[in-house]
Structure 1
Amino acid sequence: MSGRIHSFAPVIDGEAALLVLGSMPGAQSLQLGQYYGNPRNYFWRVLYGLSGDTPDESYEARLDYARRKGVALWDVIGSCERPGSLDANIREAVPNDLPELVRNYPNLRCFAFNGGKSFDTFRRHYGRDPAFSAVELIQLPSTSPIPTAAMRTLEDRLAAWRVIAPYLKQTES
């Protein structure tokens, strides 16, 4: 996939306290029209694993689970040029309107950035924008299936992502 690509609409409701922000969906996710659609991506296993649960098979059930947990999903980048799926190949990034999202969803209390690219892009475009003064910003390691020196397994990622647990609603699975 090359040329200009666009992220998905946010998955959010008025109860969401936590917004997980990726950079831009990978090629497989874009083809499927699903956040974290690559089955090798750790995101859904991490989100469910934080509560000791096993991911549902269907995408709709996964989205419903995220909503019940008070988790919203979106991307920092609204559109960009990128051949393939690697964040390093992103060019001409145009951000999503995150200040407007915060105005429309005042219950948001935390942005969890899924990887360095999403966090760096947010900082570049929004810096110290006062729209985010009541929002905690947490940079987390990517749930990408590509291993790093520090993030090789699901357990590594779960340990790092536990910092968002206080923002998750306690629900029955």
Structure 2
Amino acid sequence: MSSAPVDSSSPTPTDPPVSAEDQDPADPTTWVIDGGAVGEISLGDDYLATAEDLGDGWDETCEGLTAWGNPELNVFFVAGSDGTIETITVEGLIGDPSAGPRTPDGIGLGSTRDEVRTAYPTVEEVAPAIGDGVYLRQSDDDPTDGARFFEFAAGDDRVSSITLTTRDEPPYEPCA
């Protein structure tokens, strides 16, 4: 009696699960993207107070946008018209997801489209208003969490940015 072959091609997350206990508050590369937050930054929090609390290494690059970065990774957050944080984005060179912020399921910059879909089977594919890339959008029933957008550049199958936002989609030019 023969048995069916085991399918070992199913995608798995690129990195092991992480939790808030795994992050270093002073090192954004270790932060966890969970609920409505990326590490120490949460949607709906006061923009100015958060920028002040984060301290060294964080700069207001234009009015209402504060960023931290190194040559491989940028993390920035954007104020809404009410002075609270409405968008948080992680972007950078595509590589090993463990080199930057990740979701609790290990999804980060460089994860593949199949890995995102496996970790979050309810994501919906949406086209951005501008550009030829694609977003995989994930949201839950809590509007304070906003939605999570995994961005894929045109012709690429790996996550190039992850954005949490209370907007309908990530801002195209947040400093405009």
- TM-score category, normalised to shorter length: under 0.3
Larger Rg: 2
More strand by share: 2
**Higher RCO by CA contacts (8 Å cutoff, separation 6 or greater):** 1
| TM-score scaled by length of structure 1 | 0.27
